Amino acid sequence: MITWSEDERFQHGAQDYAAYLETPEGRLRTDLAFANLQDSLSRTVARRPMHVLDLGCGTGATAVRLAQLGMRVTFVDSSEAMLAIAKGVVEQAGVTDRVALRHADAAQLSNLFPGAKFDVILCHNLLEYVEDPSTVLRGAAGALRDASAILSILVRNRAGEVLKAAIQTGDLAAAEANLTAEWVQESLYGGNVRLFTANGLRTMFEDQSLTLIAERGVRVIADYLPPRISRESEYERIFELERKLGSRPEFAAMARYIHVLARGMEKSA
């Protein structure tokens, strides 16, 4: 396995990431997060068009679906290689007229779109990698249009890393260490990835005056199914079971990822 530096992994490893998203595990992560988001969007009074910002867009897998629903979407990523892949996805989906791509650092959000406000902001699997998650979250909170706008955050769950080490690799020492770990070594790039807890995210949201509207677990049991269960032929059944498990707090607490959705505070006139 090639180990990229912190600056290189999303540039040179972009194709590896795109390939991962095509695996059942990668598809589940994207599909479950999108389904959770749709649940919250269905309770939102729709604006036409709604404006979406995807921070750390990667290949654009989630945001393209929103563009297909008629929303206008701005992709932001610090990796030109990722944006090149996202551009291809956008073109293949036939939504180029509703998508803008911006090469930029999410930590500079407050300076990227002066005065612009968004109805939906995606921040999926980004906070694990940035130097200061609070800075990115603060910028995102400030860019929400009003109290009806939605911020969607997807991050690596510490509890999930404990179970992964114990169940997948049988490394009990790593499992015990992960109980309090702030960082772990990820398998795709070989670099460090930050871990989060649900309580920690709630505190971060409160600090930014964000109102939590949903908390879900993503990939609760899918990573640990026995080999006799085909991830491909049984994908829909696995997805539906994951949807049910992810909505129940006792199971969501053990998921590989935490998905939280919040609304911003009312903007003063």
The average pLDDT across 15-21 equals: 89
The average pLDDT across 47-63 equals: 89
Q: What is the pLDDT, as a whole number, of residue 187? A: 77
Chain-centroid distance of CA 141 in Å reads: 16
Asked if the structure places residue 3 within a domain, the reply is no
Higher pLDDT, 146 or 1: 146
The residue range of the domain holding 227 is 9-263
Q: Is the pLDDT of residue 35 over 90?
A: yes
Asked if the structure places residue 1 within a domain, the reply is no
2 pLDDT band (50/70/90 cuts)?
A: very low
1 pLDDT band (50/70/90 cuts)?
A: very low
Interval 152-164: pLDDT, tens = 999 999 999 999 9
Asked if the structure places residue 156 within a domain, the reply is yes
Task: Show the tokens assigned to 237.
Answer: 């059944």
**255: nearest Cα among 192, 178, 163:** 163
Q: String of b and e for 90-108 (b: at least 16 CB within 10 Å)?
A: beeeebeebbebeebbbbe
| pLDDT over 90 percentage in the chain | 81
3-state secondary structure of 206: helix
Q: What is the pLDDT, as a whole number, of residue 9? A: 64
Asked if the structure places residue 269 within a domain, the reply is no
Task: State pTM to two decimals.
Answer: 0.92
Q: Is the pLDDT of residue 3 over 60?
A: no
Q: Is the pLDDT of residue 189 over 80?
A: no
Spatial distance between the Cα atoms of 125 and 8, rounded to a whole number of angstroms: 17
Asked if the structure places residue 18 within a domain, the reply is yes
The average pLDDT across 167-194 equals: 91
Q: How many domains does the chain have?
A: 1
Asked if the structure places residue 166 within a domain, the reply is yes
**Counting runs of H as helices and runs of E as strands, what totals does the chain give?**
12, 9
Interval 85-129: pLDDT, tens = 999 999 999 999 999 999 999 999 988 998 889 999 999 999 999
The average pLDDT across 208-235 equals: 96
Asked if the structure places residue 149 within a domain, the reply is yes
Q: What is the pLDDT, as a whole number, of residue 205? A: 95
Q: What is the pLDDT, as a whole number, of residue 188? A: 72
Asked if the structure places residue 191 within a domain, the reply is yes
Q: Could you tell me the CATH number of the domain that includes residue 248?
A: 3.40.50.150
